[in-house]
Amino acid sequence: MTDTRHLVVVGNGMVGHRLVSALRDRDEHGEWRITVLGEETRQAYDRVALSSYVDGTSEEELRLAELVDPLVDLRLGDPVVAIDRERRTVRTASGAALTYDALVLATGSVPFVPPVPGKDLPNCFVYRTLDDLDAIQAAAAAAVAKPGPGRRSAVVVGGGLLGLEAARAMRLLGLSPQVVEIAPRLMPAQVDEGGGALLRELVTGQDIAVRTGVAVSGIREERDRLVATLSDEVELDADLVVFSAGIRAQDALARSCDLPVGERGGVLVDARCRTHDENIWAIGECAALEGRTYGLVAPGYAMAEVVADRLLGGRATMTPEELDMSTKLKLLGVEVASFGDAHATTEGALEVVVNDPVAGTYSKIVVSDDAQTLLGGVLVGDASKYSTLRPLVGAKLPADPVAMIAPGGVELGADALPDSAQICSCNAVTKGTLKNAIHAEGCRTVPDLKACTKAGTTCGSCVPLLKKMLVDEGVEVSKALCEHFTYSRAELFEIIASTGIRTFTELVEKHGTGRGCDLCKPAVASILASLGNGHIHEGEQATLQDTNDHFLANMQRNGTYSVVPRIAGGEITPEGLIVIGEVARDFGLYTKITGGQRIDMFGARVEQLPAIWKRLVDAGFESGHAYGKSLRTVKSCVGSSWCRYGVQDSVGMAVLLELRYRGLRSPHKLKSGVSGCARECAEARSKDFGVIATEKGWNLYVGGNGGATPKHAQLLVQDVDQETLIRTIDRYLMFYIRTADRLQRTAPWLEGLEGGLDHLREVIVDDSLGICAELDAAMALHVENYADEWRGVLEDPKKLERFVSFVNEPGTPDPTISFVTERGQPVPAPRAGDPEPVLIGVPAFGRQEVQ
Amino acid sequence: MTTTDERPAAETLDTDLRWETACPLERLQPERGVAALFGDEQVAIFRTHDGSLHALGNVDPRSGAAVLSRGIVGDRGGEPIVASPVYKEAYSLVDGRCLDAPGVSVPVHPVRLRDGLVQIGLR
Ligand code: SRM
Ligand SMILES: Cc1cc2nc3c(=O)[nH]c(=O)nc-3n(C[C@H](O)[C@H](O)[C@H](O)COP(=O)(O)OP(=O)(O)OC[C@H]3O[C@@H](n4cnc5c(N)ncnc54)[C@H](O)[C@@H]3O)c2cc1C
Ligand code: SF4
Ligand code: FES
């Protein structure tokens, strides 16, 4: 082991941070002791995601992995003010002097503010750091709180990537943004004329005013506000002005110690990222690599890796040609991506453009003169192809160029790419590295790949491709239900339907292995129930049910249950309300109006359920199936019975539909809504199937979803009469029940259905597969055989037997359950070590699944 | 663990055990649990498809709710398990360890069948 040397890093931004973590990862023998001197007072954070701060992402969430390491000394809020190259020391603002063996400059950039009069007035800001955003938020809040009429507004100087992000942030803060861009189009560096025209339209549609081809020439204060004068003499009133007109490399330190800088700024470095001083390196935005600076994080990360390697005696170099300057607008709800040679500057390059103003998409790819090699491209309006096209830059085109960008054209997967293709450009991760992570290191999920390779951890735009890669490499491709069945749910459905097998034991013995688990048993139970197999607790079926179905109630976090009687269409009589009120009062239950237009009573102990339900059933209520993967509610609006706009009886229709499909077991829960007119008060388009009244009949929308990934339902049939409507819904539901995966809602099912909505329409309207008669018969069977599950339990002493707290002490309440009073109602008493909040999708404690 | 043919697979020699009766065997539906209360100790009792009996502590360590008896019974790679009904981690019916979280486990109790009655050994 050599003597420990001292590395001083100036700047604790994204690239400085990457250098330190890369060096600490590789420096196994502790050759280097590191001191980081940062000007900002905060720990390094993800500047690329800066704008999400105004969306509510916290500083903690933006923070990069903390560097807790005995060999790293992090000193924040103390910028370096001078370098003495001769003595190899740096001096900081606080007066500290440090001697270095190697010095790395990672000082990033400073925002460029055009030298216009008034630029330093209060309420003029730049957009670079969390401190900037804190100041902007405070000013915006003060502006919004000002008395007086009119919207508060912000002028954003610069219409590039950053300017558009800033403009959206202003809108989120409650201001009307006006973007002023000197070039003739928005995002001039990335987007061509055709794309720019569409981009302008899309941005304007987001309530952001755009002026191109003009510059801000001055700013003055007038009556407590600002007035920005433009080069065409237009004056814009504003409460604040944000400069996002570009950046300049922060090379002040280098200049002051006579290190050469590039013509357009930036510390000059060679391919090793070394400055003219052997002991000083420069990386990230402050570096001018062979004269050129890079305003994106990926090249900076690559430089950090090179220097980490060099400091340990490696021979890595940078090759500017390989630097990826691809960009994708992350926010704004407007998709823009540009990659490779977007402006077709390569000799002989050809441009292929597909412009669809109706759909609001513009796609261009740039190919070599022989149309064989992809050079670059621009995507506006729909950038979904970005993640597959970008890694193909420089590679042979796998398909005809037009087909690659045309709507409905070739769908490219990661399989079309060579191993050397960079899948994640932010972190320079190639397809080969990812393959290795999958096969040699056992990565099975996107989070695995992120942890193992860093791919997908920066801008996130490569994540769709990571998913595709897992599938291509045979990881997620398996539709097998679980270790006991190699079949998908749809395949099992066919097996059960065609063989007539009606017990789990027979099924698992003939078509599976072992004794099943919590994945396959409820799925099989659901299939058996969909095929009309009597009460869900009949015989062996009882053992397959999830706890909710087993006790016909939803388990809560303290082991008690909730009780939800059906209130079809949300319509309930005063007597019904009184009964629910009395039951809740008598059993001491917490009550709440649900999001599904009904009433939920919480806190029932398992042994109380039969008595509670006896009262409800006697009063004419029935199970609401809030516990089942089955129809939940059909929400309604008051419709033509009361509303002055209603054109049909939406409540009547909702009740009819809810009673028709109640109890129908399905791969996941089903929700519906019926609105009496296009004002859509029942939110039908967020439902698995939604019905909206028209003057002529009913429109049916399918595949909507709330939840974690909201989706609007799509129009399946229009202006149909009641009979057609019901027939179409019958078939839609039965087709879904047969073919969906376990726990797949209708929205992802429809999305994954080959041929999509058109195919669905062919199958259930035009009967292209000839299965409609079967689907109709299956639904008829369901409607005919429906019986209230709770009544079924109350009438059968054998089924009632299980509703006890303890086999040996049936009436004794579970001693671990207790309540406290909150806002006048009982809620579970906190327990020692109460569960940490459950995050969806984070494997905090092994496997978990949301019900 | 013991089998239903009254020949205990591994009758424990621990003489400090106090045996308590939970219920008649018929009360246990194969692959569905029941809970029993002995003093303030809650036990989840299961009968698997092959007839074996198992008893674990009833409290789910993750949520603190006394509900393990209400989970789905099955196997992982042949090892009999119950999946907690709250967040679905699997617990081995044989040794009580959590298969999804290293280091987490629930207590295991000896079970035996006497005159058609399921009995639990308590310490
Ligand atoms: C009670 C209620 C909240 C409330 O206080 O209003 C509720 C409560 C639960 N919801 Fe919900 N959801 C309720 C309306 C909704 C709605 C709004 C709606 O239906 O209009 C949604 C969004 C719409 C949608 O489903 O598309 C909703 C989206 C979810 C999701 C996410 C589904 C998805 O597709 O992403 C889950 C998780 C799941 O099912 O996997 C969930 C799961 C749950 C569970 C079952 C979680 C659990 O396993 O314990 C909650 C227990 C309910 C109980 O014990 O009774 N709940 N849940 C609402 C009951 C409505 C009803 O009358 O049945
Ligand atoms: C709103 C916004 C959106 C962006 N979006 C993207 C994107 O989508 N994709 C992309 O690739 N890039 C994006 N970027 C650019 C990306 O953030 C930068 O490329 C990256 O942060 C550069 O890292 P760096 O370490 O070189 O500089 P920085 O992250 O700026 O870090 C430099 C640090 O050095 C400190 N410093 C300066 N002088 C001194 C001194 N004398 N002493 C001590 N410390 C000093 C600074 O205070 C700063 O903390 C975006 C930037 C912004 C502002
Ligand atoms: S959707 Fe139409 S009919 Fe229904 S309440 Fe709203 S405005 Fe009235
Ligand atoms: S390309 Fe940005 S995180 Fe992968």
Neighbours of A777 (CB within 10 A): 11
DSSP A336-359: EEEEESTT--STT-EEEEEEETTT
Asked whether A703 lines ligand 3 (CB < 6 A), one says no
Closest CA to A164 of A193, A137, A196: A196
The pLDDT confidence band at residue A411, using thresholds 50, 70 and 90, is low
The pLDDT confidence band at residue A178, using thresholds 50, 70 and 90, is very high
Asked whether A636 lines ligand 3 (CB < 6 A), one says no
Quick check: A845 pLDDT over 60? no
Cross-chain Cβ contact A816/B65 below 8 Å: yes
pLDDT digits (tens, 9 = 90+) for A712-724: 999 999 999 999 9
SS3 B103: coil
Write the residue with the smallest CA distance to atom 46 of ligand 1: A851
Two tokens, residue A390: 């970008």
pTM: 0.55
Report the atom number in ligand 4 closest to the C-alpha of A458: 3
Cross-chain Cβ contact B74/A517 below 8 Å: yes
- Search chain A and give the residue with CA nearest B21: A808
Dist. CA A796–CA A780, nearest whole Å: 26
Quick check: B7 pLDDT over 60? no
Phi, psi of A344 (to 5 degrees): 50, 50
Q: Residue A517: which of B29, B72, B86 has the nearest Cβ? A: B72
Q: B83 pairs with which residues across the strands?
A: B72, B90
Of residues A535 and A839, more confidently modeled: A535
Cross-chain Cβ contact A516/B74 below 8 Å: yes
Q: A220 pairs with which residues across the strands?
A: A227
User: Taking the alpha carbons of A618, A619, A620, A621 in that order, is the dihedral positive or negative?
Assistant: negative
pLDDT digits (tens, 9 = 90+) for A279-302: 999 999 999 998 888 888 888 999
Whole-number pLDDT of residue A323 = 62
**Angle, vertex CA A50, rays to CA A335 and CA A240, nearest 5:** 90
SS3 A479: coil
SS3 A623: strand
The mean per-residue pLDDT over the stretch B73-77 comes to: 92
Asked whether A681 lines ligand 3 (CB < 6 A), one says yes
Cross-chain Cβ contact A555/B72 below 8 Å: no
Whole-number pLDDT of residue A737 = 95
Dist. CA A593–CA A601, nearest whole Å: 9
Whole-number pLDDT of residue B38 = 95
- Residue A174 CB partners (closer than 8 Å, separation 6+): A140, A144, A152
- Dist. CA A694 → ligand 3 center (Å): 11
Dist. CA A563–CA A584, nearest whole Å: 10
Cross-chain Cβ contact B22/A808 below 8 Å: yes
The mean per-residue pLDDT over the stretch A568-593 comes to: 97
Question: What are the strands, taking DSSP E only, across A532-665?
Answer: 554-555, 561-563, 590-593, 599-604, 631-636
The mean per-residue pLDDT over the stretch A467-491 comes to: 80
Q: What is the 3-state secondary structure (H, E, C) of A766-810?
A: CCCCCCHHHHHHHHHHHHHHCCCHHHHHHCCHHHHCCCCCCCCCC
Q: Chain-centre distance of CA A682, in angstroms?
A: 26
Two tokens, residue A147: 């008395």
* Cα distance from N-terminal residue to C-terminal residue, chain B: 16
Quick check: A836 pLDDT over 50? no
Closest CA to B48 of A599, A169, A543: A543
Could you give the percent of chain A with pLDDT greater than 90?
Answer: 60
Mutate to test the pocket of ligand 2, among A59, A247, A285, A338 (most ligand atoms within 8 A of CB): A285
Superfamily of the domain at B28-108: Rieske [2Fe-2S] iron-sulphur domain (2.102.10.10)
**Per-residue DSSP letter, A836:** P
pLDDT digits (tens, 9 = 90+) for A325-384: 666 665 556 778 888 887 777 788 888 888 777 777 888 888 888 888 888 888 888 877
Dist. CA B122–CA A534, nearest whole Å: 41
Whole-number pLDDT of residue A2 = 53
The mean per-residue pLDDT over the stretch A266-280 comes to: 95
Of residues A610 and A414, more confidently modeled: A610
Cross-chain Cβ contact B98/A808 below 8 Å: no
Quick check: A55 pLDDT over 70? yes
- Search chain A and give the residue with CA nearest B89: A847
> Which residues in chain B (31-50) have CB-CB distances under 8 A to chain A?
31-32, 34-38, 40, 42, 45, 48-49
The mean per-residue pLDDT over the stretch B1-11 comes to: 43
pLDDT digits (tens, 9 = 90+) for B84-123: 999 888 999 999 999 887 788 999 999 999 999 999 999 8
| Of the listed ranges A143-152, A179-188, A258-267, the one predicted with least confidence | A143-152
The pLDDT confidence band at residue B8, using thresholds 50, 70 and 90, is very low
CB crowding A730-758: b at 16 or more within 10 Å, else e: bbbbbbbbbbbbbbbbbbbbbeebeeeee
Cα A207 to Cα A150, A178, A188, A203: the distances in Å are: 15, 9, 21, 7
Write the residue with the smallest CA distance to atom 2 of ligand 4: A459
**ipTM, two decimals:** 0.69
Q: Which amino acid is at A535?
A: H
Alpha helices by DSSP H, A246-369: 252-256, 297-311
Phi, psi of A171 (to 5 degrees): -65, -40
Q: Which domains does chain A have, with CATH numbers?
A: 5-110+249-320 (3.50.50.60), 124-245 (3.50.50.60), 326-412 (3.30.390.30), 489-545 (no CATH), 630-795 (3.30.413.10)
**Per-residue DSSP letter, A739:** H
Report the atom number in ligand 3 closest to the C-alpha of A647: 3
Asked whether A647 lines ligand 3 (CB < 6 A), one says no
Q: Is A844:B63 a contact under the CB 8 Å cutoff?
A: no
Count CA atoms within 13 Å of residue A459 on its CB side: 21
Q: Chain A contact for B86, CB < 8 A? A: yes
Residue A77: exposure state from Cβ atoms within 10 A (0-12, 13-18, ≥19):
middle
The mean per-residue pLDDT over the stretch A414-426 comes to: 74
Whole-number pLDDT of residue A320 = 64
Whole-number pLDDT of residue A414 = 62
- Residue A199 CB partners (closer than 8 Å, separation 6+): A185, A186, A187, A191, A334, A336, A362, A380
Enumerate the domain spans of chain B: 28-108
Of residues A749 and A441, more confidently modeled: A749
Dist. CA A501–CA A507, nearest whole Å: 6
The pLDDT confidence band at residue A395, using thresholds 50, 70 and 90, is confident
Percent helix, strand and coil across chain B, each rounded to 5? Answer: 5, 45, 50
Could you give the percent of chain A with pLDDT greater than 70?
Answer: 94
Quick check: B1 pLDDT over 70? no
Q: Is A760:A735 a contact under the CB 8 Å cutoff?
A: yes
Cα A345 to Cα A50, A288, A296, A327, A383: the distances in Å are: 32, 22, 20, 17, 22
Closest CA to A273 of A252, A290, A296: A290
DSSP A63-123: BPPP---TTEEEE-S--EEEEETTTTEEEETTS-EEE-SEEEE---EEE-----TTTTSTT
Closest CA to A296 of A460, A103, A459, A66: A459
Cross-chain Cβ contact B64/A832 below 8 Å: yes
| Of the listed ranges A256-265, A476-485, A806-815, B71-80, the one predicted with least confidence | A476-485
Q: Is A807:A814 a contact under the CB 8 Å cutoff?
A: no
**Per-residue DSSP letter, A373:** B
Quick check: A435 pLDDT over 70? yes
Ligand nearest, relative to CA of residue A453:
4
DSSP A671-722: EEEEESSTT-TT-GGGSSEEEEE-SSSEEEEE--B-TTS-B--EEEEEEE-H
Whole-number pLDDT of residue A476 = 59
Whole-number pLDDT of residue A844 = 28
Dist. CA A126–CA A247, nearest whole Å: 10
Whole-number pLDDT of residue A672 = 98
Quick check: A847 pLDDT over 70? no
CB crowding A382-404: b at 16 or more within 10 Å, else e: bbebbbbbbbbbbeebbeebeeb
Cross-chain Cβ contact A546/B36 below 8 Å: no
Closest CA to A73 of A8, A28, A118: A8
Two tokens, residue A609: 């359920």
The mean per-residue pLDDT over the stretch A266-284 comes to: 95
**Angle, vertex CA B74, rays to CA B69 and CA B78, nearest 5:** 135
Q: Residue A806: which of B37, B87, B101 has the nearest Cβ? A: B37
Whole-number pLDDT of residue A851 = 33
The pLDDT confidence band at residue A841, using thresholds 50, 70 and 90, is very low
Quick check: A184 pLDDT over 80? yes
Quick check: A239 pLDDT over 70? yes
Dist. CA A584–CA A600, nearest whole Å: 10
Closest CA to B123 of B112, B113, B108: B108
Q: Which amino acid is at A387?
A: S
Q: What is the mean pLDDT of chain A?
A: 88
Dist. CA A580–CA A603, nearest whole Å: 14
Quick check: A409 pLDDT over 80? no
Whole-number pLDDT of residue A850 = 33
For testing contact with chain B, the best of A483, A515, A540 (most B CBs within 10 A): A515
Whole-number pLDDT of residue A410 = 61
- Residue A690 CB partners (closer than 8 Å, separation 6+): A672, A673, A674, A675, A682, A683, A684, A700, A701, A702, A704, A713
Distance from CA of B119 to the nearest CA of A (A): 11
The pLDDT confidence band at residue A477, using thresholds 50, 70 and 90, is low
- Search chain B and give the residue with CA nearest A551: B70
For helices A756-764 and A722-739, angle between their N-to-C axes, nearest 10 degrees = 110
Of residues A335 and A64, more confidently modeled: A64
Whole-number pLDDT of residue A52 = 87
pLDDT digits (tens, 9 = 90+) for B18-51: 999 999 999 999 999 999 999 989 999 999 999 9
Quick check: A846 pLDDT over 50? no
pLDDT digits (tens, 9 = 90+) for A788-819: 999 999 999 989 988 999 999 998 999 999 99
Q: What is the mean pLDDT of chain B?
A: 87
Distance from CA of B47 to the nearest CA of A (A): 11
